[in-house]
Structure 1
Amino acid sequence: MFISRFLFETYVCKPCASWFELDDCKNRAPSNVILEKVYMDFTKNPTNKHLMSLTRQLQWSKRRIDEWFALRRQQDKPSTAKKFSESMWKFVFHVYLAFLGTCVIIRNPWVFDTRQYWENWPFQNLLPDIRYHMVVELSFYLCLVFMQFFDTKRKDFLVMFVHHLISISVFVYCYITNMTRIASICVYLHDIADVFLEAAKMANYCKQQRLCNALFGVFAVVFMATRLGFLPLVFGRSIYYESWEVIGPFPSWYFINTIVILLLILHIYWSCLIIAMMIKAWHKGKVSKDDRSDVESSEGETEQVKQSH
């Protein structure tokens, strides 16, 4: 998975980012050994005392030094090309997972009959295609967990990290206990919404605002329908009630229900962020910066960088 991502981002995502002219290499601070040493070794946000000392040392104006630090902080932020590459990789893989899940799951007779998830459990036959689907999903989430420390830092880093750990725990637990039917359905519903989210991010990075608005609207509807509708009301009910009715009480019943409740809490948290973004978009006429996206510079610093250019 790591090798596939590296090759895809190198030979597909980066050329696409260059074609859309998303390279941010122009916003670089002028080379200065003294300021660079202060920035790397002492502070990235100099106080008035630091600025006065540097003014006397460099014979620069205070405003010029302040602009240099603003440019240097901008330079350290992830470029649009990097964020575009991350989203493009996730978009392509989520499309593949959604297509794979559709081909694997839809032809099984137990898809629409939730009681069959528990019939003859735990002695259900594990079909090779379901096993392949589970292994690919698990490897993808493991890759996300490790790469989260190297990708663009998001405001909900901790929440997303917990979500990935819970998802991996569910995969491993369901694989060991042979609850692969309901696990494959749940992860399939997760992949559908993420396709539109990553597509909306790519459109936003490419300055295609109308397309971004449309894709984000579809994502919001699909997210609410799958993660606040189908998952808790259909599959959560099946885990809570039907499993007890079909197979009776079993030791891990409390564990699996606790996991489902934790996932529901995280989905409610993200739903609140999505609703907040939809309200902002309604007033502004467009989808603004993602409330769970990387922390951007303040408006004042952004304006200061523009003026320095």
Structure 2
Amino acid sequence: MLLLCLCVFHRAMLSEWFWWDRLWLPRPVTWADLQDSEGRVYACVSHLYIILPVAVLLLGLRTFYERLIAVPLAEALGVKDKIRKRASHNPILEIYYNTHSKHPTQADIKGVCKRLGWSERQVERWFRRRRNQDRPGLLKKFKECLFYVLFGCKNKSINCELCCFVPQKPWFYDLREVWAGFPKQSLLDSQYWYYIIEMSFYGSLLFSVAADVKRKDFKEQLVHHWATLTLLSFSWCANYIRIGTLVMLVHDTSDVLLESAKMFNYAGWETTCNSIFVVFALVFMVTRLIIFPFWLIHCTWVYPLDQFEPFFGYYFFNVMLVVLLLLHVFWASLILRMVKKFIFGKLKCDERSDEEEDEEGSEEDYTHTYSNGSGNGLSNGH
């Protein structure tokens, strides 16, 4: 009983510390000042409870859409998976592949050759085939990109609604208005739905991360998703809604273009893909490396100091924005490499993609026997 009381006490203390006014709000504002009153509605944490069920709903809609819409569309466009030759069944190599390395060094290959009695060429081919088996097919990539495109188009409709009544939203053209009256800024319906759908989407991506296409920037994508959800959650609770919607608008602008370019690439529409990619590269550089740091981050670093003294939330929000900026710089370097290849006619794939490997040499059948797992296999004539 005493232990239970202590746990409840510590939980209450932790909750009280976590929601301490000075962590989230500038002096002298308190949470009591942000209670709904006189027809004014403010963002609160209870509004976010709907995100989890909406994220699950998005996963269900995505599965439904991929089976009933994406697959027939892919077939109509001629998108289909390549026929892959599977690696021969080999317990020794399979164990090595799963527990040691998918890309063995030359020294490791020679060691395996001695155990199996295979040639280096055979072992290298086995690993190429085995790696190809784990890579997602073209159809899976196409379905994923098409879903992102449709979701992005949905977001664009909300973006249009956000921008339709610009005179009522002066912060769209005067960034100082972002902080006018902060944090006592009432919530708009369009802002509410923009946040809920955007956060639900990123939540669904975290749920499906194990099944989605894994690219070379997989870790960076995870950091991006977590940073985005953290940033959006904090901006909602601390009523950074105006700047939050501007940050989302800037980020959503180029995403649809990238997924569209990849989708047309998988469909074999090379000219369309290249044209969209050029537009995407320009939009990405302008929005993520110019507008985002020099307008939006400047807005969050400088203008708030005219209204209030720095507090924890001020520093936390800006640090998270800088994390996103660093990810933008990383992705910009990949895009510039792709642009370089595009200019010199060598662009064939997304720099982030883990592309299927071509097999070299003539095809050979592998027929081997094993002696109690000792590794002393019989040679197949090489």
Query: For the superposition of Structure 1 and Structure 2, which TM-score range results when normalised by the shorter chain?
Result: 0.7 to 0.9
Query: Residue type matched to 2:214 in 1?
Result: K
Alpha-carbon distance between aligned partners in 2 of 1:192 and 1:104, rounded to the nearest angstrom: 14
What is the number of residues matched between the two proteins?
296
Alpha-carbon distance between aligned partners in 2 of 1:21 and 1:304, rounded to the nearest angstrom: 27
Superposition map of 1:41-190 within 5 A: 41-43=95-97, 47-48=109-110, 50=112, 67=125, 70-107=128-165, 108-110=168-170, 111-190=172-251
Alpha-carbon distance between aligned partners in 1 of 2:149 and 2:129, rounded to the nearest angstrom: 31
Q: Quick one: which of 300, 304, 309 aligns to 2:360?
A: 304
Query: Residue type matched to 2:147 in 1?
Result: W
User: Does the 8 A contact of 2:80 with 2:139 survive in 1?
Assistant: yes
Identity %: 30
**Match of residue 292 from structure 1:** 352
Query: Residue type matched to 1:232 in 2?
Result: P
User: Does the 8 A contact of 1:9 with 1:85 survive in 2?
Assistant: yes
1:173-198 Cα deviation digits (max 9, x unpaired): 01101111110111111111001000
Q: Quick one: which of 85, 109, 125 aligns to 1:28?
A: 85
Deviation at 1:218, TM superposition (A): 0.5
Whose relative contact order is higher, 1 or 2, with alpha carbons under 8 Å and at least 6 apart? 2
Deviation at 1:50, TM superposition (A): 4.6
Alpha-carbon distance between aligned partners in 2 of 1:235 and 1:150, rounded to the nearest angstrom: 34
Q: Secondary structure at the match of 1:249?
A: coil
Q: Does 1:8 align with 2:62?
A: no
Residues 1:41 and 1:250: Cα distance change in structure 2 (over 3 Å): closer
User: Does the 8 A contact of 1:166 with 1:259 survive in 2?
Assistant: yes
User: Does the 8 A contact of 1:118 with 1:247 survive in 2?
Assistant: no
1:244-274 Cα deviation digits (max 9, x unpaired): 1134434421111111222111111111111
Query: Residue type matched to 1:292 in 2?
Result: R
Alpha-carbon distance between aligned partners in 1 of 2:67 and 2:92, rounded to the nearest angstrom: 34
Query: Residue type matched to 1:238 in 2?
Result: C
Unaligned segments of structure 1, at least 5 residues: none
Alpha-carbon distance between aligned partners in 1 of 2:66 and 2:192, rounded to the nearest angstrom: 28
Query: Residue type matched to 2:271 in 1?
Result: R
Residues 1:112 and 1:86: Cα distance change in structure 2 (over 3 Å): same
User: If each structure's helix is expressed as a fraction of its own residues, which one has the higher value?
Assistant: 1
Deviation at 1:41, TM superposition (A): 3.7
1:253-301 Cα deviation digits (max 9, x unpaired): 11111112221111111111111111111112x53322222x2244xxx
Deviation at 1:37, TM superposition (A): 3.9
Taking only aligned residues, the RMSD between alpha carbons, in angstroms, comes to 2.5
Alpha-carbon distance between aligned partners in 2 of 1:196 and 1:266, rounded to the nearest angstrom: 18
User: Does the 8 A contact of 2:142 with 2:266 survive in 1?
Assistant: yes
Alpha-carbon distance between aligned partners in 2 of 1:25 and 1:275, rounded to the nearest angstrom: 29
1:73-123 Cα deviation digits (max 9, x unpaired): 323321011111111111111121122122124424222121111111111
User: Does the 8 A contact of 1:105 with 1:185 survive in 2?
Assistant: no
User: Does the 8 A contact of 1:105 with 1:184 survive in 2?
Assistant: no
Unaligned segments of structure 2, at least 5 residues: 1-57, 365-382
Residues 1:81 and 1:246: Cα distance change in structure 2 (over 3 Å): same
**Match of residue 320 from structure 2:** 259
Q: Between Structure 1 and Structure 2, whose CA radius of gyration is higher? A: 2
Alpha-carbon distance between aligned partners in 2 of 1:288 and 1:62, rounded to the nearest angstrom: 29
Query: Residue type matched to 1:190 in 2?
Result: H
Q: Secondary structure at the match of 1:252?
A: helix
Q: Does 1:18 align with 2:82?
A: no
Query: Residue type matched to 2:129 in 1?
Result: L
Alpha-carbon distance between aligned partners in 2 of 1:291 and 1:69, rounded to the nearest angstrom: 22
Structure 2 length-normalised TM? 0.71
**Match of residue 277 from structure 1:** 338
Alpha-carbon distance between aligned partners in 2 of 1:53 and 1:171, rounded to the nearest angstrom: 54
